[in-house]
């Protein structure tokens, strides 16, 4: 690849020191590139700055930045290399200290691509957005239970009463889904996870369905109903207020995110490292 786009979350590289290292390396290698500072809520401007000839996006930031870029570039279908300048960096392909090594592997073609499925989201039949991680429907009020009916292929699965429900991809399984007690899933698997948030029932459990299934979530009117009963949050960034009887439809998107991986570490090795799991001896 000869043409790159460097997308930077400046809050994670305030003095642009790591950005300068990336730019210097690409210049020394004779590669073409443009640098874009990713500003909050400026997705259209970011997309306009990506040249049509760009073959790869190099993202400097954490998981949140990478997810945001994946959504912006979903129509372009170009691979993304994340360099972790944030905290966890679970989705990134190299750490900040490995910048030159990672870029060397990239330029030499020593990498592999991980295809991550995405989900498309509709509200009342109208397209809203595409997500890489998850769709979260949670309550819009203090000390108020939210009732949502969850359907799979128009068949009622359950009516969850609690703080809400998460619909996530395998990539999103290590995000909010994990905090809510959901399972960790191998990221290249093809499935959809439905996880209730603090359900007010001992029998309400999460479920994993096929990637071919369509999930519909209907907001039910509560005992002390209000005009805006719930909030839909997409990949932790786009928010929409929901009223009783609103229906959110989630299904597999035609788009995928191609993440660049630089080494042969398995998913389980990465999991142990990022989540601080240790090997016990008995």
Alpha helices per DSSP H over the chain: 17-28, 43-49, 63-72, 99-108, 176-179, 267-274
CA-nearest of 242, 265, 241, 253 to 215 is 253
Rounded-to-5 percentages of helix, strand, coil across the chain: 20, 40, 40
Q: What are phi and psi of 118, to 5 degrees?
A: -125, 165
Tokens of 240: 């929409």
- In sequence order, the β-bridge partners of residue 256 are 117
Residues 6+ apart with CB under 8 A from 200: 145, 161, 162
Residues 6+ apart with CB under 8 A from 53: 3, 32
Catalytically annotated residue among 13, 63, 134, 235 = 63
DSSP of 87-156, one letter per residue? S--SS-SEEGGGHHHHHHHHHHT--EEEEEEEEEEEETTEEEEEESSEEEEEESSTT--EEEEEEETTEE
Place of tokens 């679970």: 90
Q: How many CA atoms lie within 13 A of 54 on its CB side?
A: 24
What is the C-alpha to C-alpha distance for residues 258 and 237, in angstroms, rounded to an integer?
21
Place of tokens 């500003």: 39
Is 129 one of the annotated active-site residues of the chain?
no
What residues act catalytically?
63
């Amino acid at each position: 690849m000869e043409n790159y786009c460097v997308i930077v979350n400046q809050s994670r590289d305030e003095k642009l020191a790591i950005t300068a290292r990336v730019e210097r390396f690409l210049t020394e290698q004779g590669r073409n590139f443009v640098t874009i500072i990713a500003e909050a809520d400026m997705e259209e401007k970011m997309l306009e700055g990506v040249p049509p000839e760009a073959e790869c996006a190099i993202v400097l930031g954490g998981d949140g930045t990478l997810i945001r870029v994946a959504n912006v570039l979903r129509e372009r279908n170009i691979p993304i290399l994340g360099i972790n300048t944030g905290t966890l960096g679970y989705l990134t392909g190299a750490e900040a200290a490995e910048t030159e090594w990672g870029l060397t592997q990239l330029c030499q073609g020593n990498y592999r691509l991980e295809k991550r499925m995405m989900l498309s989201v509709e509200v009342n039949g109208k397209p809203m957005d595409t997500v890489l991680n998850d769709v979260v429907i949670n309550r819009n009020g203090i000390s108020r239970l939210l009732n949502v009916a969850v359907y799979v292929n128009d068949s009622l699965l359950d009516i969850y009463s609690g703080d809400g429900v998460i619909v996530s991809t395998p990539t999103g399984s290590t995000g909010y889904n994990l905090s809510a007690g959901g399972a960790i899933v191998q990221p290249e698997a093809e499935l959809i996870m439905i996880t209730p948030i603090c359900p007010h029932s001992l029998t309400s459990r999460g479920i994993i369905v096929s990637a071919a299934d369509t999930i519909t979530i209907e907001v039910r009117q509560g005992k002390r109903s209000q005009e805006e009963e719930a909030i839909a949050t997409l990949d932790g960034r786009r928010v929409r207020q929901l009223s009783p009887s609103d229906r959110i439809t989630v299904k597999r998107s035609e788009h995928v995110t191609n993440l660049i991986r630089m080494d042969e570490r398995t998913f389980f090795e990465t999991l142990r490292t990022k989540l601080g799991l240790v090997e016990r001896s008995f």
